[in-house]
Amino acid sequence: MATRPPHRPPLVQSPSLLLLLLLLVHPFLSAATPSITTKAVPRLPGFSGPLPFSLETGYVALDDGVRLFYYFIQSERDPAEDPVLLWLTGGPGCSALSGLVYEIGPFYFDFHGYTGGLPTLLYKPASWTKVSNVIFVDAPAGTGFSYATGDKRTIPSDTIAIQQLHVFLETWFGEHPQFLSNPLYISGDSYSGIIIPSLAMKIAKGIEVGDERLINLKGVIAGNPLTDTTTAFNARIPFLHGMGIIPDEIYEAAREGCGGEYRWPSNSHCANSLQDIQECMRGLNDVHVLEKICPEYPSLALQKQPTSQDHGRRRLTESAVSSLCRNATYFLSELWTNDEAVRESLAIHKETVPSWLRCDFNLPYTYEISSTVDDHLALITKGYRAMIYSGDHDSKVSYVDTQAWIRRLNLPITDRWRPWHLDDQIVGYTRTYSNNLTYATVKICLFERQLISDEGAGHTAPEYMPRECLAMIDRWLSDYEIWEGLFSCVELMQRRMDGVDRHERCLNYDERHLPVSAIGSRSSGQD
């Protein structure tokens, strides 16, 4: 097998020298440009003791009256060398905290033991901050704790969000020049599949013409990404047929009558078939077709003035948190973020966001970009890396659609379709294309299993399978193939191995911080 390139590209071998060059050739933002305020957060209400990682919060003030709020968590391994990920939660209108707490961040709410009051936060070992620095940003304005003021308020859109995030990054790196030499990956999932490649292309074009601060853009990471709004919807039908939800005769009738276009029926045959399909889908959890569909619990954040009826709803919702419904746990994020002590610790601007919502699907928004397939191809052609992954039981943005638009790129396959492993078990499948494009699926488990084992892939794969997704991203960021790893750190430690070769890589973090399910049985003599 050919020798792998070194883990660190030559550009970042001497970060101090590069930083000096950047300071000389590209002065930072002047006082007339957007500004930034930051705060170090050593402790958080609900978390016992000091945080075991470095957390910073802040606002980037744009010149159009927009204030974008962010959380920045430094890598727990090597902040000076590890990549920087800009993480964009989908929606549009879903907060950065959702991605932080429920997907890739280093803490989560203890919904197992919740009995009322302020939710408890627990440390999560399977966090992407184990291997990267991550910026979680509330975007666009009106999402999470981000807001807009003054007479220049505009309805956010795809192009406005991209422009604001571009200015955000320029401003953020101006305040944090020590991270300029770190590899940067624009990352996220769901609707962010529209924003990620578009923002990366904007940065790449700026680099080419010399207008861009010398940000070390390396590529994109996108999970279950909405990439083409037309094909994403149409791909749901063959996906559901493959899952056994739509029977053969209904699927064949729809395919014949609709000709593959299921959004707008052009004849009665197509319309009747789609009605039959709707009946098959009734009551289905579209983001994870194996999980139960749960009732929508009332949102306390929507209640401006609590009433006696609201208090009854509160008790109802709090008691439901311990149920086997995933969305019941989302309620804890509203309780936590709307607490005054929490807001003070995060340095939230007072009276700017009266009621925080995890996802505001009523946020006014203009959808302008229907496809970003061409942006992906342009980025890959320019030499930027791409990691695309799919939770394999998501019907909203299914692996059927993602694999279809990847095929449209017409890239040669350089590494065949094969399984990838963790703990010596198959946890997904992967394929590599030319020009540094990697695609992987992540096998799912049910929420009931997650409640028991702390494992948890549907629409947002890291939410369902955190350890598996961490192993996937660690291998990819380290320039390994996803399939090049069979064991977890725990298994390797149990085997008392003196070293780890590149076929048996793992994260070197303390066994005591791993989920119990990952540790399994212990041999005698271990602590």
CA 190 to chain centre: 8
The verdict on whether 459 is a catalytic residue reads yes
Amino acid found at 366: T
The verdict on whether 319 is a catalytic residue reads no
Give strand ranges (E) for 364-454: 385-391, 413-422, 425-433, 437-442
Give strand ranges (E) for 112-239: 121-123, 133-137, 147-148, 184-189, 217-223
SS (H, E, C) 334-384: HHHHCCHHHHHHHCCCCCCCCCCCCECCCCCCECCCCECHHHHHHHHHCCC
User: How open is the CA angle 257-259-262, to the nearest 5 degrees?
Assistant: 85
β pairing state of 84-88 and 413-422: unpaired
Burial 168-192 (b: 16+ CB within 10 A, else e): bbbbbbbbbeebbbbbbbbbbbbbb
Q: Which of 82, 360, 459, 474 is catalytic?
A: 459
Q: Which of 95, 132, 187, 190 is catalytic?
A: 190
Closest Cα to residue 128, out of 153, 108, 149, 103? 103
Residue recorded with tokens 């300071």:
23
Task: Report residue 107: phi and psi, to 5°.
Answer: -145, 160
Q: Which of 394, 401, 454, 474 is catalytic?
A: 394
The verdict on whether 339 is a catalytic residue reads no
| Active-site amino acid positions | 190, 394, 459
